[in-house]
């Protein structure tokens, strides 16, 4: 970034603005009066559509003459009360090329809404896109603004009310908005969800949706309209390593969603933007307030969108009733201690709803589809030394056949140190430094090198010390 005085800047206009150089001007532009100009950038013709004024900790966009985009609440240089506040301001010219087309996947939530606002503010040619997947939520009251905020019961995504929220924000930004019907495509996600439970595995439909729809079908749509970029409201970042684009954890570690993005194609990764990944969640809500978004207090999505009531077994039962044949419940020695009503309603580490009176806390430690049995045990019986994962996807070239990494085995798991051994191009073994609890087939094992995502795969089975 280049810094210059006001007079020097004016002397070399418009060449500085025609480049992609960013120019900072310190102090209130009083020198403009010496040039006999009433407005600082009157008559400038350049790719820049706005400047940004920073004062009292706030960044305020100001549009220059010739801009084709004039949104609400845009301050003007002629506004004397506003200018009076800028005596100690720093003016930063946003000299970045404008007009790059980007498709923003808008879910109606605050994160994707802020992502759209940030990109619009930075001069991108934004198109909003909502995925209509056929999910229906119970009717909810709508406030006078036409948008739901705090207090709504439904906390998933992709419902009709979410589509209305997304459309409302797009209207505020005056950007094109389309709701595409992905119901047929989404059926494959729900079928996968049911099949995994039938096979004694615990699915992760969010990863599957990202791979097949958000960064699959939406990329096709972006190509169709000539959009160079695709953006979402995910908490993740991208960076550069050895000249290649890499996926990274978000600044907000508690909200980081890089785990569910490990399946991205490398070619797609080079086109993806994650505008909110550089912010903490509280900062994103502050940005939403600054942009005047009525959904700034909308609760985060916490449920699987097609299971808003969290009754996973109901979804499996409706689609795979044969998975609910009764079978034996075993203890760690193989002794029958009860009966279950179908393996389709159990997951590794589950404690509630077991229907077994053991006189102490017990957990599901194993699900055997071949014998239709569920094994239960103590918390310590859930510890495993390692795992085998398949269908691997590496976003960077692994350093060696055997390498060190931090490994996450579910979304809310804290990554733990481990040794990773590549078995072939499609699978790998993880050996934990310390045994980990509830290694669950069907979940993803994602590998990190610091903040950088190396890649990941789907857990096939856990391993004890004897196995490895």
Average pLDDT, the chain: 77
| Window from 113-122, 155-164, 327-336, 444-453 with minimum mean pLDDT | 155-164
- Crossing angle, helix 312-319 and helix 183-198, to 10 degrees? 100
Instruction: Give the pLDDT score at 63.
Output: 35
pLDDT greater than 60 at residue 286: yes
Instruction: Give the pLDDT score at 231.
Output: 96
Residue 157 banded pLDDT, cuts 50, 70, 90: low
- Which tens digits make up the pLDDT trace of 368-424? 999 999 999 999 999 999 999 999 999 998 878 899 999 999 999 999 999 999 998
Instruction: Give the pLDDT score at 467.
Output: 61
Output the six-digit token pair for 215. Answer: 């960064």
Output the six-digit token pair for 205. Answer: 């439909």
Rounded to 10 degrees, the C-alpha dihedral 169/106/256/447 comes to: -170
pLDDT greater than 90 at residue 43: no
Give which of 344, 301, 140 is closest to 206, Cα–Cα: 301
Instruction: Give the pLDDT score at 232.
Output: 95
Q: Which residue has the tokens 């103590």?
A: 378
CB-count exposure of residue 424 (10 Å: 0-12, 13-18, 19+)? exposed
User: Which of the pair, 87 or 391, is modelled with greater confidence?
Assistant: 391
Residue 20 banded pLDDT, cuts 50, 70, 90: very low
CB-count exposure of residue 412 (10 Å: 0-12, 13-18, 19+)? exposed
Instruction: Give the pLDDT score at 424.
Output: 84
Taking the CB of residue 381, how many other CB atoms lie within 10 A of it?
A: 17
Report, as an integer, the average pLDDT of 19-36. Answer: 32
pLDDT greater than 60 at residue 247: yes
Distances (CA, A) of 449 to 254, 385, 417, 453: 18, 20, 10, 6
User: Which of the pair, 96 or 135, is modelled with greater confidence?
Assistant: 135
Q: pTM, whole model, 2 decimals?
A: 0.74
Instruction: Give the pLDDT score at 460.
Output: 96
Q: What domains lie within the chain, and their CATH numbers?
A: 2-93 (no CATH), 101-290 (3.40.50.620), 325-377 (2.30.30.280), 383-463 (2.40.30.10)
Instruction: Give the pLDDT score at 31.
Output: 28
- Which tens digits make up the pLDDT trace of 324-339? 899 999 999 999 999 9
- Which tens digits make up the pLDDT trace of 416-453? 999 999 998 799 999 999 999 999 999 999 999 999 99
Instruction: Give the pLDDT score at 382.
Output: 96
- Active site residue ranges: 209, 305
Instruction: Give the pLDDT score at 136.
Output: 57
User: Which of the pair, 55 or 279, is modelled with greater confidence?
Assistant: 279
pLDDT greater than 60 at residue 7: no
User: Which of the pair, 211 or 75, is modelled with greater confidence?
Assistant: 211
Instruction: Give the pLDDT score at 269.
Output: 94
Max mean pLDDT among 156-160, 239-243, 296-300, 310-314 falls in 239-243
Distances (CA, A) of 342 to 316, 326, 347, 378, 382: 10, 5, 11, 21, 21
Residue 217 banded pLDDT, cuts 50, 70, 90: confident
pLDDT greater than 90 at residue 150: no
| Window from 77-91, 187-201, 256-270 with minimum mean pLDDT | 77-91
pLDDT greater than 60 at residue 198: yes
């Amino acid at each position: 970034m280049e810094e210059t005085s006001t007079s020097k800047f004016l002397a070399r206009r418009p060449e500085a603005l025609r480049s992609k150089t960013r120019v900072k001007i310190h102090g209130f532009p009083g020198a403009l009066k010496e040039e006999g100009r009433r407005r600082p950038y009157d008559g400038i013709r350049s790719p820049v559509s706005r400047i940004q004024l920073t004062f009292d900790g706030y960044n305020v966009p100001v549009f220059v003459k010739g801009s084709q985009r004039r949104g609400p609440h845009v301050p003007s240089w002629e506004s004397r009360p506003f200018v009076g506040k800028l005596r100690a301001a720093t003016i930063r010219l946003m000299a970045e090329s404008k007009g790059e087309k980007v498709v923003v996947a808008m879910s109606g939530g605050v994160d994707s809404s802020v992502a759209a606002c940030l990109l619009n503010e930075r001069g991108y040619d934004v198109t909003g896109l909502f995925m209509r997947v056929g999910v229906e939520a119970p009717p909810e009251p709508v406030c006078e603004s036409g948008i739901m905020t705090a207090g709504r019961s439904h906390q998933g995504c992709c419902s009709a009310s979410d589509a209305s929220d997304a459309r409302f924000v797009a209207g505020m930004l005056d950007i094109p908005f389309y709701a595409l019907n992905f119901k047929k495509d989404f059926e494959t996600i729900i079928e996968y969800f049911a099949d995994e439970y039938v096979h004694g595995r615990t699915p992760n439909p969010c990863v599957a949706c990202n791979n097949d729809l958000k960064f699959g079908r939406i990329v096709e749509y972006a190509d169709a309209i000539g959009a160079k970029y695709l953006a979402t409201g995910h908490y993740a970042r991208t960076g550069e390593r050895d000249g290649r684009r890499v996926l990274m954890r978000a600044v907000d570690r508690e909200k980081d969603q890089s785990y569910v993005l490990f399946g991205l194609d490398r070619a797609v990764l080079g086109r993806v933007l994650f505008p909110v990944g550089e912010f903490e969640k509280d900062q994103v809500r502050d940005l939403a307030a600054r942009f005047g978004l009525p959904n700034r207090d909308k609760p985060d999505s916490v449920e699987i969108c097609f299971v808003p009531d969290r009754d996973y077994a109901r979804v499996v039962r409706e689609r795979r009733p044969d998975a609910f044949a009764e079978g034996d419940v075993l203890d760690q020695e193989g002794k029958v201690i009860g009966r279950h009503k179908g393996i389709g309603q159990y997951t590794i580490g589950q404690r509630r709803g077991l229907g077994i009176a053991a006189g102490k806390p017990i957990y599901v430690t194993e699900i055997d589809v071949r014998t239709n049995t569920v094994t239960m045990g103590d918390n310590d019986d859930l510890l495993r030394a390692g795992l085998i994962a398949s269908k691997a996807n590496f976003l960077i070239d692994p350093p060696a056949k055997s390498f060190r990494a931090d490994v996450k085995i579910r979304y809310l798991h804290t990554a733990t140190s481990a040794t990773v051994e590549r078995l072939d191009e499609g699978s790998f073994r993880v050996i934990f430094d310390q045994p980990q609890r509830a290694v669950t087939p069907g979940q993803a094992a994602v590998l990190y090198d610091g903040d950088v995502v190396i890649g990941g795969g789907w857990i096939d089975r856990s391993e004890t010390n004897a196995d490895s």
